[in-house]
Each structure stands twice: as C-alpha cells, then as structure tokens.
Structure 1
Amino acid sequence: MPIDVGQALSAEPRRTDLAWDHKDIQLYHLGVGAGIPATAPDELRYTLESRLHVLPSFATVAGGALAAAGGLSSPGIDVDLASVLHGGQRIELHRPIPVRGTAVQTSRIAAVYDKGKAAVIVLRSAAADDDGTLWTSDTQIFVRGEGGFGGERGPSGRLETPGREPDRTVERPIREDQALLYRLSGDWNPLHADPEFAKLAGYDRPILHGLCSYGMTLKAVVDTVLGGDVSRVRAYATRFAGVVFPGETLRIRMWQETGRIQATVTAVERDDAPVLADTVVEHS
C-alpha cells in the first residue's frame, strides 16, 4: 500500500530551515492578488518594501517549503501527485511574521484518516525563531484512491452557515496568470500549470492552488473587516470544498461575530459552486 500508516506516524519529526525577506513577501502578496490598483495606499502595504506588512497566510509558503510537499515526502508516504488535493488548512499565529526572518520548522504526520475512497493525511508543523514560536499549522492532504485500509475515519465536523444575510460580501477576480505567479512561491505541482497533467487528474484545464484562494480570502477579510491590520489575525482555518479556475471570480461572504469572522467562498461564474467552506478567521 502506498501509505504505510504505522511508519508515517512513528517517523521522526522533520526539521527544515526557513529563511525569507521582503522579496518573498512581495511575491507572495502579488500571487494572492495584491497590487490592484497598483498605487492605492492600502495595496502598497502589501507591495512596497518601505511600508510592508506580512499577510499571516504567508506562513504556508515561508522559505519556499510548502507544508503539503513536506508531508508527501515523509517516510511511509508514496502517492501519485495526480491523486492529491489539499483538503484543509489551519494556521495559528503566535506573533506577527517579520518582513525578514529565519526559523526552524518542525513537521510530523499527526494522523492518517480513512475516508473510504480516499485517505486524509494530517501534517502538523511549528516554526520558531530565536524568540520562540512564530506559528503552528495543520495541513490536511486528501489522497484519492488510498482509503479503505480500515483506519479511523477522523473528525467530520462542519460549520453551519449563520441563518442571516452576510454582513459583508465582496468579489475578487482571479487573473488568468494567477496560478503561474502564485506557484513561484514554492508549490510546483504541475496540476496548476500543465494542461496535460490537469487532464490526467480529471480537469479540463489547470486549477488554481487552494492555498491561493486561502490567501486571497484572508486578504479580503483583513482589508474589509479588520481595517487592514494583519496583526489582529490570531488563527485562520478553512476546508477546501471545490476547485476554482484562473479567470473566474471568488465571491466571499462574511459573517462577523465576537472575536471571529466566518466566511464562505464560491465561484461566481459557476452558480456559486463551493470553493472554501468551514472558514473562520479568529482575531483580536
């Protein structure tokens, strides 16, 4: 079996040295749609080095070491990239991410769940610098065709959408070249660039990275509800509910509650097909 659950869970944690500077931050921000309009003061916080702050979702690509890729190279894990989708992501921020930094990321497989026709691998990571932990994260990797091995099914909790109209709704267009730009931050899966590889995975054209939609959504929440203050974000979680294609538009609905914002994200052009679900931003 391509996934050896016992070996994966018992493997020693993997340590990775991370380093980044303003160029990595700016590239990531451009990859999640920052810089439009190019000279808007609110956008310059994401693109101009003299004013730069760091969107917390940058933690998913810091150092170019994508969490999902790290999980797929763990002992006991041998799967086909064409069968892999990102199932969910959660990050917890312990303090704001600096514009320039180095850290050591420690990662391990925390769980492997049997969903019947698929397996879900949970990769747990923590990044720390000399001053302590910067962030922790859980990455859920969905692997089609690898279930049915008799393991635990795992949690299946779903958030109920609030029974009222959203407090805010915004739309964010996805550029035709957005996946090509976003992948420069470290996710080189050809599913997001190569039409022939996308067809092998069952899509008629390359799809956008789930983590790109994730970053675009957090930016929309920060800009719309949190006054552009990235330091207010404490944690951010989502479940990847469906694909979205470059050239489409994200519709982001937000419900404000005490200390948190719940959101749903859909694809406008496909009758609000789900893209992100169970999405929550916890904030100060």
Structure 2
Amino acid sequence: MPIDAAKATAAEPRTTELTWDHKDVQLYHLGIGAGVPATDPGELRYTLEDRLHVLPSFATVAGGGMALAGGLSAPGIDVDLTAVLHGGQTVTVHRPLPVKGSAVQTATVPAVYDKGKAAVILLRAEVADTDGPLWTCDTQIFVRGEGGFGGERGPSGRLALPDRAPDKTVERPLREDQALLYRLNGDWNPLHADPEFAARAGFDRPILHGLCTYGVTLKAVVDTVLGGDVGRVRSYATRFAGVVFPGETLRVRMWRDAPEPGRVQVAVTAADRDDAPVLADTVIEHGQAGPV
C-alpha cells in the first residue's frame, strides 16, 4: 500500500527553514487577485512594499509552500498526484505575519484517516522564529483509491449555515490565467496548468488551486467585514467542497457573529455554475478592531 499510516504518524518531525520577503508577499497577493483597481488605497496595502500588510493565508505558501510538499514526501506516504485533492485547510495565527521573515517549520503527520474508498492525510506544520510561534497550518489531503486499510474514519461533522440571509455577499471574478499566476508561489502540481494531466485526473481542463480560492475568500472577508485589518484574523478554517475553474466568478456569502461574536461564517459558490459549492464549513475567527 502506498500509504503506511502507522509509519507516517510515527515518523520523527521534519524541520525546514523558511525565508520570505516583500516580493513573495506581493506575488501571493497578486496571485489571489489583489491590485484591482491598481491605484485603490485599499489594494495598495497588498501590493505596495512601503505599506504592505500580510494576509494570514500567506502562511500556506511562505517559503515556497513547503508544508504541503514536505508532507507528501513524509515517510510512509507515496501517492499518485492525479489521485490527490486538497480536502481542507486551517491556519491559526499566533501573531501578525511579518513582511520579511526567517523561521523554522516543524512538520508532522498527526493522523491518516480511512474513508473507505479514499484516505485523508492530516499534515501539520508549526512555524516559529526567534521571537516564538508564528502560525500553525493543518492541511487535509484527500487521496482517492487509498482507503480500506482498516484505520479510523476520523471526524466528519458538517457546519450548518445560519438560518438567515447573509450580512454581506460579494462576487470575485477570477482571471483566466489565475492558476498560472498562483502556481508561481510554489505549488507546481500540473493539475493546475496542463490540460493532459487534468484529463488523466478526470477534469476536462485544469482547475484552480484550492488554496488560491482560500486566499481570495479571506481577502474578501477582511476587506468587507473586518475593515481591511489583516491583524484581526486569529484563525481561518475551510473544507474544499468543489472545484473552481480559472475565469469563473466566486460568490462569497458572509454571516457576522455566527454563531457567536468574533466569528464570521462563510459559504463560497461558483456563480457561473448555478452556485455549485466551492468552500463549505468555513469560519474566520477574529479579534476586535484596534484603536484608530
């Protein structure tokens, strides 16, 4: 079996040095659609180096996205990339992300779940610099055809949407070359660029990175209900419920204080495909606005 769950979870933690600077942050922000309109002061916070703020979702690509790459090369894990889908993502921020940084990432595989016809690999990356913890990323990787090994099924709870109209709804159009731009952050999986590879994976054309949609959504929430203040975000969790194709439009619905203060619940759909689900079970936990 390509996945040896016992070996993967018992393996020693793997450490990797991460470095990044303003160019990496700017590229990431551009890759998730920042900079439109180009001279908008709100957009310049994401694109101009002398006033740069870092979206917490940058944690998923800092240092070239080594959390995902390191996890898929962990002992006990040997999978076919055509069978791999991103199942879910959580980023917990311990303090605001710096524009320039050098840190150490410690990566582990806390669990491998048996979903029957598929396996779900949980990858954890804890990142700290000389001042202490920066962020923790939990990544769920869904691998088709690798289940049935007799392991634990794992959690399967779903988060119901609030029984009221969303407080805010925005639409975010995606560029036709969005995936080609986003992959420059370090995720080189040909599923997002090569039509022949996408066809072998069962898609009629390349699909957008789930983490690109993840970033687009966080930016929409920060800009719409958090006053553009990236420092208010404490954690951000989602389940990837469906694919997105470059060139489509995302519809992002937001519920404030759902189900309690300090939380924004979000649902994302593909507006061009009758609101087909894209992100589900999505919650952003945040702090209060600071003094002006």
TM norm. shorter chain > 0.5:
yes
The alpha carbon displacement at 1:70 in A equals 1.5
Q: Is the 8 A contact 1:68 1:86 kept in 2?
A: no
* Mapped partners of 1:237, 1:129: distance in 2: 23
Looking at structure 2, the residues matched to 65 and 119 of structure 1 have their Cα atoms a distance apart, in angstroms, of 22
Q: 1:260 aligns with which of 253, 263, 281?
A: 263
Q: Work out the CA distance in 1 between the residues paired with 2:210 and 2:171.
A: 17
Deviation at 1:65, TM superposition (A): 2.9
The reply on whether 1:239 has 2:239 as its aligned counterpart is: yes
Q: In structure 2, the residue corresponding to 1:65 is in which secondary structure?
A: helix
Identity %: 78
Unmatched tracts of structure 2, length 5 or more? 288-292
Report 1:72-83 matches (<5 A): 72-83=72-83
Whether 1:11 aligns to 2:11 is: yes
Return the letter of the residue paired with 1:18. L
3-state SS of paired residue (1:146) = coil
The answer to whether the aligner puts 1:273 opposite 2:246 as a matched pair is: no
CA contact (8 A) 1:128 1:135 kept: yes
Residue 249 of structure 1 is matched in structure 2 by 249
Amino acid at match of 2:269: T
Partner of 2:60: 60
Write the letter of the residue equivalent to 1:137.
C
Q: Deviations over 1:192-236 (max 9, x none)?
A: 000000000000000000000000000000000000000000000
Q: How far 1:99 moved relative to its partner?
A: 0.3
CA distance in 2, matches of 1:210, 1:202: 16
Query: What's 2:216 paired with?
Result: 216
Cα deviation 1:41-68 (Å, max 9, x = unaligned): 0000000001101000000000103422
Q: CA deviation at 1:69?
A: 1.8
Output the amino acid matched with 1:278: D
> What CA distance in whole angstroms lies between the structure 1 residues aligned with 2:166 and 2:265?
9
| Aligned residues of 1:120 and 1:140 also touching (Cα < 8 A) | yes
Distance in 2 (alpha carbons) for counterparts of 1:140 and 1:253: 23
May I ask how many residue pairs the two structures share in their alignment? 284
Give the equivalent residue in structure 1 for 2:25. Answer: 25
Aligned to 1:144: 144
Distance 1:51 1:68 in 2: 29
Contact 1:18 1:65 in 2 (8 A): no
TM-score w.r.t. length of structure 2? 0.97
Aligned pairs for 1:29-44 within 5 A: 29-44=29-44
For structure 1, the residue ranges without an aligned partner over 5 or more in a row are none
